[in-house]
Chain A
Amino acid sequence: MKKVPERLIDENMLRVDGRRWNELRPIKLEVGILSNADGSAYIEQGRSKILAAVYGPRELHPRHLALPDRAMLRCRYHMAPFSVEERKSPAPSRREIELSKVIREALEPTIFLELYPRTAIDLYIEILQADGGTRCAGITVASLALADAGIPMRDLVVACAAGKVDGQIVLDLNDVEDKLGEADVPLAMMPSLGAITLLQMDGMLTVEEFEQAINLAMEGCRQIYKLQKEALKAKYTAIKEEVETQ
């Protein structure tokens, strides 16, 4: 068992991992890292490590599920057995089934599904290591994988959580803060459209605190949005350099 810290914010107003209230964890993004997938991406956000891959649009099986006027987005959020402290059974848990649903609903609004009737777009999110905020990081990395697959989108979807820890509204909770904190508000949005596509909360917040948390989470999203765009560009800069040196 891990040691439980007594306080989550110290006298210098620093959090357990040394961050200030409005600071994100360090984020590393990579696009196009799996050769078989039509699109793929990888994210490290603090100690959370997540892979996402997209297959499709492709033929949908079983066929009777096909939608006559649009593509069906299917999403699987899955945690590796070794991703958490105690081994997690690889069978999908109720939590994973719920998260697969809300992540799908967070991404559907951005995709022009009507361009690919009768097909399936399959999205797989594998949590290799979990340290809090995996649904949000999963959405951030999944929208990069969708973009990498060349699927037409209205905007990138980016997600980030805000929450309440030791009485203070903070950005991007890690695992300890999520478990011991007072509230967690994960939020996903399409920044250029100002549209919120995922919103959940658990914990206890007044309406005023909730508004602060939303504003903070949206600010976090805007910061990650910049990194997402850089990561997409980086892939093509790398290809360009490779071609030019040949």
Chain B
Amino acid sequence: MYSMVISRVRRRQIAQLIAGGKRLDGRGLTDYRKIKIEKGVIEKAEGSACVYLGRTQVLAGVKIGIGEPFPDRPNEGVLTVNSEFVPLASPEFEAGPPSEESIELARVVDRGIRESNAIDLEKLCIIPGKKVFIVFIDIYVLNHDGNLIDASAMAALAALLNTKIFNYEVVDGEVEIKPGFTQLPVRNYPIAVTFAEIDGRLVVDPWLDEEEVMNARLTLTFDKDGKICAIQKGGSGALTKEQILEAAKIAQKKAEELRKLVVES
């Protein structure tokens, strides 16, 4: 994916192990790496969370602003998701305009949150058609060791769960900030589960070397009721229908486990 050079020997070793149901780092094919979630790590942000997925590390920050609603949605707040592949996270990352991968990552995370209606955007309307809250989610990749999508989706959700909006009052059409905070209305918990397809087998939560070797990538995002709310296939290989349906079954269970971690952290 990021054109990291990986030797043919290692490539073959990874693929051969997976063919036998094993992985180079000792995990089973459907095991996640160790996950650690810390909420509220940035005090200046209205919400924040840091997710460690093995050696992958992602920080998500939520800032709340006030702005105009979209003309076709005058009674709803606005959600925007952005991601930064900061150069300190990988030798492959460079400063500059966002890469394709970075845009894709942000849009896949956005889709999960948006399509599951995770944030009650109608509660973020201040003056219909004029003033609404804007929720900015910024995803900061701090260390890239594979599967940025799942780590980022968890970080974004954890940060939202941790977000507080300042209290306000409308006086003569102007917003006046009052003391105290209210919890951001979060009513769904979308969780992304990503697979790599390597020599015909699916593995969950690929780390960087596996991403280098994979033919294709598949991400399924599940909501709290076990429904699918977003899917993204990536990588320049193909998948069969059977593989996709198998992935959906595994992901539904995995999402349940991960959701507990994020909500209870």
Does A205 make an interface contact (CB < 8 A)?
A: yes
Known A196-B244, A202-B111: A102·B227 in contact at CB below 8 Å: no
Who on chain B is nearest to A109 by CB?
Answer: B238
Q: Give every chain A residue within 8 A of B248 (Cβ-Cβ).
A: 207, 210-211
State how many residues of chain A have any CB contact under 8 Å with chain B.
Answer: 35
Establish whether residues B233 and A196, one from each chain, have CB atoms under 8 Å apart when the complex forms: yes
- B103 adjacent to chain A (CB < 8 Å): yes
> Which residues of chain B are within 8 angstroms of A200 by Cβ–Cβ distance?
231-233
Q: Does A90 contact B (CB under 8 A)?
A: no
Q: Is the CB–CB distance between B100 and A199 below 8 Å?
A: no
Does A165 interact with chain B (Cβ within 8 Å)?
no
Residue A214 CB within 8 A of the other chain: yes
* Residue A234 at the chain B interface, CB threshold 8 Å: no
Our pick among B114, B227, B235, B241 for the contact of A206 (Cβ within 8 Å) is B227
Q: Are A214 and B241 in contact (CB under 8 A)?
A: yes
Residues of A within 8 A of B231 (CB): 185, 199-202
- The answer to whether B103 touches A199, judged by C-beta atoms less than 8 angstroms apart, is no
- Please name all residues of chain B whose beta carbon is closer than 8 Å to the beta carbon of A195 when the two chains form the complex: 238-240
- Stretch from A35-43, A92-100, A127-135 at the B interface: A92-100
Find residues 105-160 in chain B having any chain A CB closer than 8 Å to their own CB.
106-107, 111, 114-116
Shortest Cβ distance from residue A58 to the other chain B in the assembled complex, whole angstroms:
20
Best-buried of A98, A104, A202, A211 by chain B (most CB within 10 Å):
A202
Whether a CB of chain B sits under 8 angstroms from the CB of A145 is no
Cα–Cα distance between A82 and B232 once the two chains are bound (Å): 28
Which residues of A in the span 161-185 have a Cβ within 8 Å of any Cβ on B? 185
Q: B241 — which chain A residues lie within 8 A by C-beta?
A: 194, 196, 214-215, 218
Give Cα A238 to B163, complex, Å.
64
Q: For A189, list chain B residues within 8 Å (CB).
A: 238
In this complex, the interface size class of chain B, counting residues with CB under 8 Å from chain A, is: 20 to 34
Given A97-B100, A101-B100, A199-B244, A190 and B238 contact (CB-CB distance below 8 Å): yes
Q: Is B233 within 8 A of A102, CB to CB?
A: yes
Partner of B115, one of A97, A109, A203: A203
Q: Is B223 an interface residue (CB 8 A)?
A: yes
Q: Whole-angstrom distance between the alpha carbons of A102 and B105 in the complex?
A: 12
Instruction: Write out the residue numbers on chain A whose beta carbons fall within 8 Å of the beta carbon of B87.
Output: none
A47-97 contacts to B (CB < 8 Å): 94-95, 97
Decide if B252 touches A204 in the complex (CB within 8 Å). no
Q: Are B107 and A206 interface neighbours, CB within 8 A?
A: no
A198 at interface (Cβ–Cβ under 8 A)? yes
A194-B111 contact in complex given A98-B104, A210-B228, C-beta closer than 8 Å? no
Which residues in B have their C-beta under 8 angstroms from that of A205?
A: 227-228
Contact of B234 with A102 in the complex, beta carbons under 8 Å:
yes
Bound together, the chains give a CA A202 to CA B116 distance in angstroms of 9
With an 8 A cutoff between CB atoms, is B186 at the interface?
no
**Chain B residue, CB-CB nearest to A189:** B238
Contact between B229 and A204 (Cβ–Cβ < 8 Å)?
yes
**Known contacts A105-B236, A214-B244; is-contact A202 B230 (Cβ 8 Å):** yes
For the complex, is A119 an interface residue (Cβ under 8 Å from B)? no
CB of B237 closer than 8 Å to a CB of A: yes
Inter-chain contacts of B34 with A (CB < 8 A): none
The distance in angstroms between the C-alpha atoms of A207 and B114, with both chains bound, is 19
Docked CA distance A33–B103 (Å): 33
Which of these, B104, B111, B236, B249, contacts A207 with CB under 8 Å? Answer: B249
The answer to whether B100 touches A98, judged by C-beta atoms less than 8 angstroms apart, is: yes
B residues within 8 A CB of A100?
100
Ranked nearest first, the 8 interchain pairs of A and B with the lowest CB-CB distance are: A195-B238, A201-B231, A108-B236, A199-B233, A101-B100, A109-B238, A197-B238, A202-B115
Subset of 20 A-B contacts with CB under 8 Å: A94-B103, A98-B103, A101-B103, A102-B104, A105-B233, A189-B238, A190-B238, A195-B240, A198-B233, A199-B233, A201-B230, A202-B114, A202-B229, A202-B230, A205-B227, A205-B228, A206-B226, A214-B241, A215-B241, A218-B241
